Structure 1
Amino acid sequence: MKAIQVPTYEEVGEPNKAIFDQLKKGLSFVPNLYATFAHSETALGTYLALQNAKSSLSSKDREVINLVVSQVNDCEYCLAAHTALGKMVGFAPEEIMGLRKGAASFNPKLDALAKLVKSITVERGHPNQALVQAFFDVGWTEANLVDAIVVIGDKIISNYLHGTTKVPVDFPAAPALV
């Protein structure tokens, strides 16, 4: 079986070199999973455009989705990265653990989001309709629903890329769920 390697700066094409330069400037390094997208001349740019697109959801809302989906898909890379990002957007460690389980007991609005996202992901796009209604009942909008599904799709892409390639995780490991 062929092992997928993380491409180096020298091994990628010019469009991806420019993106690597931007990532190094903003993050101080190119995460291995992003670099893996660069095996394609277009995938990294396409993925980053999706990930950074305007949204009706806040960065905190998106981290709820990223943590829930990554846990459902058992993606050690994305769990590590989004545990770090979750802390950066203001979640406490115990809140991150709860989100990974698909709930946010500390915030009713985020709780409805987490529960719906878990149902959408587990049920492959056919969530429990009571959870859809509960989402709307706490004040989320149709735009929020559509944007949440876009973020779910974004996270599934990266979860599947890591699940398939098993590139090394270059973030501190996420703690095990208890």
Structure 2
Amino acid sequence: MKNFAVPTKEQVAPANQAIFDNLTKALGFVPNLYAVIGYSENGLGRYLAYQGAKTTLSNKEKEAVNLIVSEVNNCLYCKSAHTVLGKMNGFTDDQLLDIRRGKATDAKLNALVKLAASITKNRGRVDAALVDDFYAQGYTNESLIDLILQVSDKTAMNYLHNLTQIPVDFPIAPTLETEAVLN
């Protein structure tokens, strides 16, 4: 299999070079996974627009979805990145681990996490009770669409890392004990 190197700014198209500059200004660096998307002349801009689009989900809810989807898809890069981002959005270390295990103490967030995990594991064919609980917690049809779009966003990134295996440039997420994961 081809070994993917993380491209430098000079190795990507001019439009992506400008995005690299913007990412460096905003984050202090260009995350390796974003840099790899830079191999596509149009992919990085398209992905960042999709990722940054308005949604009914709060940043905290998005991070919960990102974490559980990354756990289901076993993506070390995204589990690591979203552990950092989850902390930045107010989650504690224990809450982050619980989300990766497929649960949350808050009933509304728990419904979101369970449904996101099932959507990912079952490719959208979920138990109706999970959807009913999602709606019972105050989510709407719009929220369901936004959840599916968030799952698709993170699944794409999980697949990209799982295929390329580029180096993780975030602190490595803690390993979960294997029992009770996603039950």
Normalising by structure 2, we get a TM-score of 0.96
Q: What is the rounded CA distance, in whole Å, between the counterparts of 1:45 and 1:165 in structure 2?
A: 20
Report SS of the residue matched to 2:98: helix
What is residue 94 of structure 1 aligned with on the other side? Answer: 94
What is residue 44 of structure 1 aligned with on the other side? Answer: 44
Matched to 1:54, the amino acid is: K
Q: What is the rounded CA distance, in whole Å, between the counterparts of 2:170 and 2:116 in structure 1?
A: 24
Matched to 2:11, the amino acid is: E
Q: What is the rounded CA distance, in whole Å, between the counterparts of 1:46 and 1:33 in structure 2?
A: 14
Matched to 1:16, the amino acid is: N
Once the 2 structures are TM-superposed, how far is the Cα of residue 101 of structure 1 from its aligned partner?
A: 1.1
- Give aligned-pair identity as a percent: 52
Unaligned runs of 5+ in 2: 178-183
Q: What is the rounded CA distance, in whole Å, between the counterparts of 2:61 and 2:142 in structure 1?
A: 13
Q: What is the rounded CA distance, in whole Å, between the counterparts of 1:53 and 1:19 in structure 2?
A: 17
1:62 paired with 2:62, answer yes
Matched to 1:119, the amino acid is: S
What is residue 3 of structure 2 aligned with on the other side? Answer: 3
Matched to 1:8, the amino acid is: T
1:146 paired with 2:153, answer no
Once the 2 structures are TM-superposed, how far is the Cα of residue 2 of structure 1 from its aligned partner?
A: 2.0
Question: How do 1:29-178 residues align onto structure 2 when only pairs under 5 Å count?
Answer: 29-105=29-105, 107-178=106-177
Q: What is the rounded CA distance, in whole Å, between the counterparts of 1:47 and 1:53 in structure 2?
A: 10
Length, aligned pairs only: 177
The 4+ residue runs of structure 1 with deviation greater than 4 A are none
Q: What is the rounded CA distance, in whole Å, between the counterparts of 2:3 and 2:45 in structure 1?
A: 23
| 1:132-170 deviations in Å (ceiling 9; x for gaps) | 000001111111110010000000010000000000000
CA root-mean-square deviation = 0.6
Q: What is the rounded CA distance, in whole Å, between the counterparts of 2:68 and 2:129 in structure 1?
A: 19
Once the 2 structures are TM-superposed, how far is the Cα of residue 127 of structure 1 from its aligned partner?
A: 1.0
Unaligned runs of 5+ in 1: none
Once the 2 structures are TM-superposed, how far is the Cα of residue 128 of structure 1 from its aligned partner?
A: 1.0
Matched to 1:109, the amino acid is: K
Normalising by structure 1, we get a TM-score of 0.98
Report SS of the residue matched to 2:54: coil
